Structure 1
Amino acid sequence: MVFGRRSDITRSTVKTFARVSRWLPAGACGLILALALPARAAEVGAVAQVAAAPALTAEAIGRRIEELGALEGLDEESRKRAVAAYEKAIEHLIAAERWKAEAAEFERLQAEAPALLERVRSESTAETKAPAVAENADLASLEQELAKVEAELSAARKLQDELEQERKHRSERRVEVPRKLAEVTQALQTLAQRFPDDAPAPSSEPALAEWVLSEARKRALAAEADAYQKEIFSYDARRELLAARVDQAARTVASLEARADEIRAAVAERRRVEAERSAREAISATEKVAGEHPLLVRLAAENAELATLRSGPEGLAERIAAAKKELAAAADTLARLSDRFEGVRRRAEAVGFTEAIGLLLRKQRAELPDIRERQLHIRLRQREIGRAQLRLVELEEQRTALFDPVARAEELVATADPPPASEEERRHLVEAVSELLEAKRNYISDLIADYDTYFVTLVDLDAKERELIERAQGYRAFIDEHVLWIRSGAVLGVATFRDLWPALVWIVSPRNLGELGEAVAVAIAVRPVGVGFVLIVWLCLFAYRGRLRQWLALRCERDRTRRDRTIVSTCASLAAAVLLAAPWPLLMLVAGWLPVAAEGAGGAYAGAVASGLARTGLSYLGIEIVRQLCRKDGPGVVYLGWSERATATLRRSLASLATLLLPAMFVVATLDAQSNEAWKNGLGRIAFVFSLIVLGAFARRLAGPSAGVLEGLGIRSRARWFQRLRGALPTLVVVPLALLAVFAAAGYGFAAVHLARKLEATVWAGLSLLIVDTLSLRWMIAARRQLAIRQAREARAAAAAKQAEGGTAAPEAAPVEEPAVDISAVNAQTRRLMRSFIVLGAGLWLWMIWSDVLPALRVFDRVELWTVSREVSEKVTSNGTVSYRTVTSNVPITLADLLEALIILVMTVVAGRNLPGFLEFTVLQRLPLDAGVRYALTSVSRYLISVIGGVLAFAAVGVSWAQVQWLVAAMTVGLGFGLQEIFANFVSGLIILLERPIRVGDTVTLGDVHGTVARIRIRATTIVDWDRKELIVPNKEFITGQLVNWTLSDQLLRVVVPVGIAYGSDTKLAERTLLDVACESSYVVDEPAPTVVFQNFGDSSLEFELRAYIASFDDYWHARHELRMRIDEAFRAAGIEIAFPQRDLHLRSVSGPIPVAVRE
Structure 2
Amino acid sequence: MNRQLCRLALLLIAGWIAVGTTTSLHAQESKRSEPTPTSGIPQPDAADDPTADQPAADELPEEEAKKEKEAKEQKPDPGSTPTEPFAPRLTIEMVEKRIKEVEESKELKDEQKKELIDLYQKTVEQLQNCQKESEREAHFLSLMNEASSPEELKKELGQPMPLLEEISPDTSLTELQKRLDKTEKELNAAREMAEQLESEPSRRAVRRLEIPKTLAADAEAMEKARKQLEANADSTEPLEVKKAKQAFFESQLMLLKVRDQSLKCELGTYEHTGELTSLRRDQAVRKVSHLSKEVKLLQEAVLKRRQKEAKKQAAEAKEAARKAMVTDNTELQKLALDNAELAEQRTGEKGLGVAIKKASETEQAIRAKIQTLSGDRGRLVDQVEGAGRLTHAIGLLLRKQRDALPDIGRHLSNLADRRTQITEVMLKLDEFREKRSELATLSPHIQGVLNDLPANMPLTEREEISREARRLLESQRKFLDELIGDYDTYFTTLVELDTAERALVEETQTSDEFISRHILWIRSTAPLGLSDFPDSWDALSWLVSPKSWLHLFHLFANEIRVHAVLAGVAMILFLVLLAVQRRLRVRLKTIGKRVSKSYVDTYSLTGEALVLTALMAVLWPGLMWIVGWTIQNFPDARIFSKTVGESLCMVAFFFLAFELVRQVWRPHGLAEVHFRWRASSVAGVRRSLHWLMVYELPLIFIVSATEVENWSNEDGQQALGRIAFILGLAGISVFMIRNTRPRVGVFAEWVSRYPDGFLARYDKPVRYSLVCLPLVPAVLSVIGYHYTALQLERKLEITIALFLVIALVYALCLRWLLVARGKLARKLAEERRAEEAALAAATGESSDPSVQPQLQQNVIQVTEEREVDLSQVDVQTRQLLRGLTGLAITLAMWGVWMDMLPALGVLDPWSLMATSAEGDNAVELTVGHFILGGLILLMTVIASKNVPGLLEITILKHLPVDAGGRYAITTIVRYVITLVGAILALAVIGIRWSNVQWLAAAVTVGLGFGLQEIFANFVSGLILLLERPIRVGDIVTVDDVSGVVSRIRIRATTITDWDRKEFIVPNKEFITGRLMNWTLTNTINRIVINVGVAYGSDMTLARDTLLKVANDHPSIMDDPKPLATFEGFGDSTLNLVLRCYLKEFDNRLETIHELHRDIDLAYRAANIEIAFPQQDLHIRSFEDSLDIHRGNSGNARPVDGHHRESAASSHPSEN
Common fold, TM-score beyond 0.5?
yes
Worse overlay, 685-694 or 402-411? 402-411
Shift of 1:696: 0.9
Instruction: Please give the residue correspondences for 1:36-47 in structure 2 after superposition, counting only pairs within 5 Å.
Output: 36-37=61-62, 38-40=65-67, 45-47=73-75
In the alignment, does 2:910 pair up with 1:856? no
Q: Does 1:1145 align with 2:1202?
A: no
Are 2:307 and 1:272 aligned? yes
* 8 Å contact kept, 2:525–2:784: yes
Q: How does 1:904-943 map to 2 (within 5 A)?
A: 904-943=936-975
Q: For 2:869 and 2:1115, how far apart are their aligned partners in 1? A: 32
Distance in 2, matches of 1:777 and 1:379, equals 38
Mean Cα displacement is larger for which, 820-829 or 860-869?
820-829
SS in 2 for 1:1055: strand
The alpha-carbon distance between structure 1 residues 1151 and 1097, as it changes in their structure 2 partners (threshold 3 A), is: farther
Unaligned runs of 5+ in 1: 1-5, 67-83, 195-200, 872-886
Please state how far the C-alpha of 1:836 moved relative to its aligned partner.
Answer: 2.0
1:640 and 2:675 correspond: yes
Q: 1:780, 1:826 within 8 Å by CA — same for their partners in 2?
A: no
Judging changes above 3 Å, is the alpha-carbon distance between structure 1 residues 331 and 518 closer, same or farther for their aligned structure 2 residues?
farther
Aligned residue among 156, 159, 162 for 1:125 = 159
Letter in 1 for 2:901: L
Q: How does 1:358-373 map to 2 (within 5 A)?
A: 358-373=395-410
Give the match for residue 795 of structure 2: 758
Report Cα offsets for 1:964-1005 as digits up to 9, x if no partner.
3322442353344xxx5x777767766665665654444556
1:774 counterpart letter in structure 2: A
Larger mean CA deviation between 84-93 and 370-379 belongs to 84-93
Q: Is the 8 A contact 1:596 1:607 kept in 2?
A: yes
How far off its partner does 1:603 sit?
A: 6.1
Q: How does 1:683-1082 map to 2 (within 5 A)?
A: 683-712=720-749, 717=754, 720-793=757-830, 827-869=874-916, 889-957=921-989, 958=991, 960=993, 962=997, 963-976=999-1012, 993=1025, 998-1003=1030-1035, 1012-1018=1044-1050, 1029-1035=1060-1066, 1045=1078, 1049-1062=1082-1095, 1067=1099, 1070-1071=1102-1103, 1074-1075=1106-1107, 1078-1079=1110-1111
Q: Aligned residue for 1:72?
A: none
Contact 1:1077–1:1130 at 8 Å: present in 2 too?
A: no
Structure 1 distance, partners of 2:472, 2:120, is 89
Q: For residues 307-318 of structure 1, what are the structure 2 equivalents within 5 Å?
A: 307-318=343-354
SS of structure 1 residue aligned to 2:147: helix
Q: How much does 1:651 deviate?
A: 0.9
CA deviation after TM superposition for structure 1 residue 891, in Å: 3.0
Please name the residue that 2:518 is paired with: 482
User: Given that residues 997 and 1048 in structure 1 are in contact (C-alpha distance below 8 angstroms), is that contact kept between their aligned partners in structure 2?
Assistant: no
- Aligned letter for 1:922? T
* Distance (whole Å) between structure 2 residues aligned to residue 1030 and residue 17 of structure 1: 92
**Separation of aligned partners in 2, 1:114 and 1:580:** 80
- CA distance in 2 between counterparts of 1:21 and 1:392 reads 56
Task: Give secondary structure in 2 for the equivalent of 1:313.
Answer: coil
Deviation at 1:167, TM superposition (A): 3.6
- Check whether the contact 2:1106–2:1159 (CA below 8 A) recurs between aligned residues: no
Q: Which amino acid aligns with 2:344?
A: T
| Secondary structure of 2:38's aligned partner | helix
Does the aligned pair in 1 maintain the 2:346–2:483 contact within 8 Å? yes
Query: CA–CA distance in 2 between the matches of 1:153 and 1:177?
Result: 34
From 277, 287, 293, the equivalent of 1:242 is 277
Q: Are 1:669 and 2:704 an aligned pair?
A: yes
1:625 corresponds, among 639, 660, 673, to: 660
Q: Provide closer, same or farther for how the CA distance between residues 592 and 475 of structure 1 changes in structure 2, counting only shifts above 3 A.
A: farther
Alpha-carbon distance in 2 for matches of 1:559, 1:10: 108
8 Å contact kept, 2:933–2:988: yes
Deviates more, 1:518-527 or 1:425-434: 518-527
For the pair 1:343 / 2:370, whether they are aligned, the reply is no
TM-score, normalised on structure 1? 0.82
Q: Distance in 1 between matches of 2:130 and 2:1031?
A: 76
**Cα distance change, pair 129–662 in 1 and its aligned pair in 2 (3 A):** same
User: 1:652 is matched with which residue: 687, 705, 709?
Assistant: 687
User: Which structure 2 residue ranges, 5 or more long, are not aligned?
Assistant: 1-23, 78-84, 99-117, 237-242, 853-858, 1196-1215
1:1132: Cα distance to partner?
7.1
> Structure 1, residues 326-370: CA drift from partner, whole Å, max 9, x if none?
223222222222222222122222224332222222222222222
Alignment of 1:19 with 2:37, yes or no, is: yes
The change in CA–CA distance for 1:1093 and 1:695 in structure 2 (over 3 A counts) is same
- Please identify, of 230-239 and 965-974, the stretch whose mean Cα deviation from structure 2 is larger: 230-239
SS in 2 for 1:827: helix
Q: Determine if contact 2:516/2:900 at 8 Å carries over to the other structure.
A: yes
Aligned length: 1102
Give aligned-pair identity as a percent.
Answer: 33
Match of 1:69 in 2: none
Q: Distance in 2 between matches of 1:770 and 1:154?
A: 54
**d(CA) in 2 for partners of 1:1082 and 1:824?**
23
Mapped partners of 2:751, 2:1058: distance in 1: 35
Q: For residues 748 and 670 of structure 1, do their structure 2 counterparts lie closer, same or farther at Cα, with a shift above 3 Å needed?
A: same
Q: What letter is aligned with 1:916?
A: P
Q: Is contact 1:160–1:249 with CA below 8 Å preserved after alignment?
A: yes
For 1:243 and 1:185, the matched residues in 2 are separated by: 33
Answer yes or no: is 1:142 the counterpart of 2:179: no
CA distance change for structure 1 residues 439 and 989 in 2, over 3 Å: closer, same or farther?
Answer: closer
Q: Tell me: CA distance 1:569–1:820, structure 2 relative to 1, closer, same or farther (3 Å).
A: farther
Query: 8 Å contact 1:1022–1:1030 — kept in the other structure?
Result: no
TM-score by length of 2: 0.78
Work out which of the residue numbers 682, 688, 705 in structure 1 matches 2:719: 682
> Could you report, residue by residue, the CA deviation over 1:1027-1048 in whole angstroms, capped at 9, with x for unpaired residues?
6x44444357878577574887
Residues 1002, 1047 of structure 1: 8 Å contact kept: yes
Contact 1:671/1:679 (CA < 8 Å) preserved in 2? no
Following superposition, the deviation at residue 843 of structure 1 comes to 2.0
Q: 2:10 is matched with which residue?
A: none
**Structure-2 separation of matches of 1:175 and 1:43:** 50
3-state SS of paired residue (2:774): helix
Tell me how large the CA RMSD over aligned residues is. Answer: 5.2
Aligned residues of 1:316 and 1:451 also touching (Cα < 8 A): yes
> Which deviates more from structure 2 when the two are superposed, residues 772-781 or residues 855-864?
855-864
Contact 1:1055 1:1107 in 2 (8 A): yes
- Aligned to 1:1057, what secondary structure does the other structure show? strand
CA contact (8 A) 1:563 1:820 kept: no
- Give the structure 2 partner of residue 497 of structure 1: 533
Give the secondary structure class of the aligned counterpart of 1:587. helix
One-letter identity of the residue aligned with 1:1061: A
| Range moving further from structure 2, 312-321 or 619-628 | 312-321
Change (3 A) 1:613 1:478: farther
SS at match of 1:893: strand
Determine if the alignment matches structure 1 residue 1130 to structure 2 residue 1163: yes
How much does 1:615 deviate?
Answer: 3.5
Aligned-pair CA distance for 1:785: 3.1
**Does residue 258 of the first structure (1) align with residue 271 of the second (2)?**
no
In the aligned structure 1, how far is the partner of 2:437 from the partner of 2:700? 69
Residues 392-401 or 760-769, more deviating = 392-401
Aligned to 1:1119: 1152
In structure 2, relative to structure 1, the CA distance for the partners of 1:714 and 1:592 (3 Å cut) is farther
Work out the CA distance in 2 between the residues paired with 1:133 and 1:596: 51
Q: Compared with structure 1, are the counterparts of its residues 438 and 643 closer, same or farther at alpha carbon in structure 2 (3 Å cutoff)?
A: same
| Stretch of structure 1 that moved more, 1127-1136 or 568-577 | 1127-1136
User: Do the aligned residues in 2 keep the contact of 1:1061 with 1:1136 (CA within 8 Å)?
Assistant: yes
Does the C-alpha gap of structure 1 residues 524 and 181 become closer, same or farther in structure 2, counting only changes over 3 Å?
farther
Q: Following the alignment from structure 1 to structure 2, what is the Cα–Cα distance between the partners of residues 442 and 411?
A: 20
